Amino acid sequence: MTMTTKPRLMQGNEACVEGAIVAGMRFYAGYPITPSTEIAELAAEKLPKVGGKFIQMEDEIASMGAVIGASLAGLKAMTATSGPGFSLKQENIGFACIAEVPCVIVNVQRGGPSTGLPTLPAQGDVMQARWGTHGDHPIIVLSPSYVREVFDLTIRAFNLSEKYRIPCILLMDEVVGHLREKVELPDPTTLKIINRKKPDLSKIGHYNPYQDYDGDGIPPMVNFGDGIPYHVTGLIHDITGFPSTKPEVTEHLISRLMRKIYNNIDDIVEYEKFFTDDAETVIVSFGSTARSAIRAVKILRKEGQKVGLIRLKTIWPFPRKAIQELPSTTRNIIVAEMNFGQLREVVEAASRGRFDIIGLNKYNGELISPDEVIAKVREVHKNA
């Protein structure tokens, strides 16, 4: 392992692979696509060094399938892609949701729809990350703003996915993926690494793969090949893992899938608040856009403008609390994102009419600059 605490220049995509390996990734399957390709290339180089496996599959559908297979066989597994490839993965992401197979999917967002703007940044997959696969399901989506945070959130993505047996999506954007920053990585031995929980077979006797033994909604997991044969299907199944179309079985399964995530919101949701305590206007942002927002807030604060920022690290489940706990001074929320307003609607729902919600949107392949954020805040404050 090339891990040192010495600062070194690193790209976001590289930090992702470093974090993944520290988190215990030992399998990667992928298909090249800009701007995520460096992740595949680095995984191909680094995984065999730690005894892990890399495979370039024939497409993204196959990559997602291979990742799920490898995870069921006991390896922590990841795939990375962008826009079009993310769309192709969706059916099998749904499989991982219903079969509760831990895995990490990285989407380094680029401009869309379709082939769109392959080399330019966007944040247009906020909703696809949430609802890309069909049917009711929970999902966890994390979004880093800095190279060092890519490292941290990749580890967190593995940890959450292993803990809750759920596919976890790391939603990056082209800027964060390709940005080079000086980073200092932590000593890996100091990091908390979570592994899927195993059943205590001495206590439970016969193992039902989808039984909620611990009452936390998370069934303990036996890996394929560990001597207990069981069945996994993408069909609605009972606690034994076998298909059922009974309404009560269906309801039980879907509500448990939801409960295991929504009962643990405080563990899953992470966000950062800057100067929100007395803020009249709060900017909500994530990913690379949040970097511009932070700069803007610092400049505006020097001018005495009462502006704050909520920087989301978890996008889904959406941190409603972050909006609801804003102080009584807050009147406006500006949602800054490189899309047509995907998160704005979610913020609007969470604010329940308490605030004026204003979108700051860009969807032309260009970043939202600090100046644009500043201009928007001034405009809002002038109109107030």
Partner 1 sequence: MRKSLEKYYRIDKLPHIWCPGCGNGIVTGALVRAIDNLKLNKDKICIVSGIGCSSRAPGYLNFNTLHTTHGRALAFATGIKLARPELKVIVLTGDGDCAAIGGNHFIHACRRNIDITTIVFNNNIYGMTSGQYSPLTPLGAYATTAPYGNIDRNFDLCKLAEAAGATYVARGTVYHVPQLIKFIEKALQHKGFSVVEAVSTCPTYFGRKNKLASPVKMMEMLRDNSVTVKAAEKMSKEELTNKIVIGEFLDVNAPEYVEEYMKIIKRAQGEE
Nearer to partner 1, 14 or 149 (CB): 14
From the list 10-18, 50-58, 257-265, 299-307, the region that binds partner 1 by CB under 8 A is 50-58
Give CA–CA dist 78/103, Å, rounded. Answer: 6
Give CA–CA dist 120/167, Å, rounded. Answer: 26
Nearer to partner 1, 66 or 335 (CB): 66
For the chain, how long is the longest CA-to-CA vector?
Answer: 69
Per CB under 8 A, does 117 bind partner 1? no
Token reading at 321: 């609390």
Q: Least Å distance between CB 97 and partner 1? A: 12
DSSP three-state, residue 353: coil
Give CA–CA dist 77/165, Å, rounded. Answer: 12
Side-chain-side CA neighbours of 97 within 13 Å: the count stands at: 25
Q: Least Å distance between CB 63 and partner 1? A: 8
Per CB under 8 A, does 87 bind partner 1? no
Per CB under 8 A, does 74 bind partner 1? yes
Beta carbons within 10 angstroms of residue 146's beta carbon: 19
**Using the 8-state DSSP alphabet, how is residue 367 labeled?**
P
**Alpha-carbon 349 to chain mean position:** 21
DSSP three-state, residue 292: helix
Q: Least Å distance between CB 18 and partner 1? A: 16
Which of 3, 9, 73, 201 forms a contact with partner 1 (CB under 8 A)?
73
Which of 53, 298, 354, 381 forms a contact with partner 1 (CB under 8 A)?
53
Per-residue string for binding with partner 1, 232-251, x by CB under 8 A? xxxx------xx--------
Give CA–CA dist 160/157, Å, rounded. Answer: 5
Q: Least Å distance between CB 147 and partner 1? A: 25
Cα 326–Cα 330–Cα 334 angle in degrees, nearest 5: 95
Which of 17, 22, 33, 72 forms a contact with partner 1 (CB under 8 A)?
72
Q: Least Å distance between CB 105 and partner 1? A: 14
Span 189-228, contacts to partner 1 by CB under 8 A: 224-225, 227
How deeply is 1 buried, as exposed, middle or buried, from its count of CB atoms within 10 A (0-12, 13-18, 19+)? exposed
Per CB under 8 A, does 70 bind partner 1? yes
Per CB under 8 A, does 230 bind partner 1? yes
Per CB under 8 A, does 95 bind partner 1? yes
Per CB under 8 A, does 66 bind partner 1? yes
Q: Which residues contact 276 (CB under 8 A, 6 or more apart)?
A: 282, 308, 309, 310, 326, 327, 330
Give CA–CA dist 129/238, Å, rounded. Answer: 27
Per-residue string for binding with partner 1, 176-195, x by CB under 8 A? --------------------
Report how many residues bind partner 1 under the rule CB under 8 A: 43
Cα 53–Cα 313–Cα 94 angle in degrees, nearest 5: 55
Per CB under 8 A, does 135 bind partner 1? no
Residues lying near partner 1 in the complex (CB under 8 A) are found at 26-27, 29, 45, 48-49, 51, 53, 55, 57-59, 61-75, 77, 91-92, 95, 224-225, 227, 229-235, 242-243
